[in-house]
Amino acid sequence: MALLKVKFNQKKRVKLAQGLWLMNWLSVFAGILVFSMGLFLKIELRKRSEVMDNSESHFVPNSLILMGILSCAFNGFAGKICYDSLDPAKFDKWKPLLKPYMALCFLFNILIFFVALICFLMRGSLESTLAQGLKNGMKFYRDTDTPGRCFMKKTIDMLQIEFKCCGNNGFRDWFEVQWISNRYLDFSSKEVKDRIKSNVDGRYLVDGVPFSCCNPSSPRPCIQYQITNNSAHYSYDYQTEELNLWLRGCREALLHYYSSMMSTMGAVVLLVWIFESFVMVGLRLLHTSLESIANPEDPECESEGWILENSLKDTLSSALESLKKMGKFNQVEADAEGAEGEEGGKAPAVATVS
């Protein structure tokens, strides 16, 4: 028994073809939207590529761009088929291509669903990428004279100002890295010498943060040096007082920014997938309803359309049988090639004995 069998007359077939033509062109615009989202996300990721550890994060925007291009191509082609289906003479040239095209549409819909899921599931990978990238960025903050790293200070400062964040996980991360260049240290000073000698790595570590960590909304002038020294500042207790620094880490801020963006894009792609699925079902009904016309010379006659010619269970069983037959055929071919190889190897040995 066919799955989702529907009876059609000429009027219904025409309405279905016209509706599908419109839906396909709407899907082309949806493809342009998906392409644009992928391009926008790629640009946003490239803006902060210096604080990202690897290029895996570009998998999502690249996938969105590819899906957008494929959506425009597939739906533009389907729109042409639906338009020509109104004329039996024009539709005949598309008949041999429809089954392969439907198989490609099915694979395409699986890919769209996969990309939508990836948009929701990339948070973990993005978090580790940002954590390592920000850690490296903070380490190279002081290298303003080193080629290839001279812009890192500006990048980190602009990032902390824009996202109202400080450090990787928080402002204390700056206490663990030397963020002041040796160029601006007075090595004749006893304080500088003592600080450098106080750790095994010979770094100049201070309980201070760059200016970009300061919160301009705070009524008190920014305390960015000797943050943990209560006696260095009047009426100050860093453990109880609300500091005039950004308390949120930049990893959390960037992760929230990109995750919310990708979740929104994932929801849009999911809606596109649902719409594309309806278009594919409609195209299949149109294809089968035109194929099953009993008398092609009488376009007014009724016909039946379906999604699957047999039930879902029978279709799956026949597909498995086909796969088994293909596997056996490949095995027979491999055995035959192996036997030919053995005979070829024995032939020269016989000739040598004679």
Element (H, E) at 78: helix 59-84
Question: HSE-up of 236 (CA within 13 Å, CB side)?
Answer: 18
Contacts of 302 (CB under 8 A, 6+ apart): 7, 8, 9
Distance of alpha carbon 270 from alpha carbon 274, whole angstroms? 6
- DSSP, collapsed to helix, strand or coil, labels residue 214 as strand
Q: How confident is the model at residue 350 (pLDDT cuts 50, 70, 90)?
A: very low
Domain ranges, ordered by start, for the chain = 3-137+252-309, 171-247
Q: What is the pLDDT of residues 272-310, one digit of tens each?
A: 999 999 998 888 888 787 777 666 666 667 777 777 665
Residue 245 has φ and ψ, to the nearest 5°, of: -120, 160
| Residue 71 clears pLDDT 70, i.e. is over it | yes
Please choose, from the candidates 57, 254, 239, 48, the residue with its C-alpha nearest in 3D space to the C-alpha of residue 167: 254
- Residue 354's pLDDT band, with cuts at 50, 70 and 90, is very low
pLDDT of residue 232: 85
- pTM of the predicted protein model: 0.77
What pLDDT band is residue 322 in, cutting at 50, 70 and 90? low
The per-residue pLDDT for 98 is 79
pLDDT band at 209 (very low <50, low <70, confident <90, very high): very high
| Residues near 300 by beta carbon (within 8 Å), at least 6 away in sequence | 9, 10
Task: Give pLDDT, residue 208.
Answer: 92
CA distance 261 to 16: 36
